[in-house]
Structure 1
Amino acid sequence: MPTTPDMTTASDPGLLDSLQHQVAVFARRAEQTRLGGVGQVRNSMDRAAYLLLNRLDKEGPMGVKALAASMGIDSSTVTRQVAPLVDTGLVKRTSHPEDGRAVVLQLSPRGQARLDEVRSSRRELMAELTQDWDPVERESFCALLTRFNSALSARQTSQTAPGGEVPATPES
């Protein structure tokens, strides 16, 4: 039988305190790593940029509205986040093949190269950090983290997001 939040809190508040603390530490360390805090400047890429480039790479060229919907964020947020990516040549704006008035965003060759570099560096970092883990531990950690992110996403979906934003998806 699923446990309600009240039952879980009542049964082991110390474990939940530890969990929330470890999530906070993880968020801080992840941010430090993203900023090159472990000595790997090539890891450094803004989180929004990484997620947008990653989405365009996985799903292909698309309009702002489609990109916003697939990421679970507002179109105005995507427009604001894409602007510097266009300015730096990581994303290209092109005309829609069927409707020349519509704009389509796509990963540029420079954007693909930069995304590949960041992914490779981060993959190396993950290998380094989990080098003494066996494959089952890596798979379990990934599955649990995915489950945790999905639960966060489901919670956001059940609530009204501030500022009219669409609730985020697990990959956002």
Structure 2
Amino acid sequence: MLELLAILSVSAAGGLRLALPLLVIGLVQGESLWSKVPILARFDPAWVVGVLAAWSGLELFIITHPWGQRFLMLIQLIFSPAVGAILGMTLADLTDTPVWLIGLIGGLLALLLQLVQVGWFFRLGKLPHWFIIGQDLLCILLVLFGVHAPKPGGLIALLLLWLAIRSAKDWRQQAYSRRVQR
């Protein structure tokens, strides 16, 4: 059960940001860096660090502008399932569960969290700066908890899942009430 909580934790981090959780999970592994990460293990670690650090910096810079947030939302929406699956499969060697199933669960959780972020973005018009900083901190914490303390990380991921479902339910009720009023 703890392994599943760890997988949910790192997959939820993949639903918040793309490069930052991959960068953190590689650095947490120590000397082996990305040797256990399914796709990134094929590349030279120096290149992986450079690309992930550059993309993390770009995410931080570009998200401060409204047009940058829209562009980044599109990119994150497309690639978040893959990042969630990669992060989930990285921790899948701890369980007896098939790797493809872990990847599917991780990818779906990351996609769901990203869809809710897109919904909130279009609902609010722009995400506040404190929210963006909080996302980055939560992303780092989820990866660290997923690797070192799976119980709190998994509980945070389940809380995020509950918030996502709650947001979708509220949006649906508001849309229904608007249709009824017309």
TM-score by length of 1: 0.31
Higher strand share: 1
Structure whose CA Rg is larger: 1
Higher helix share: 2
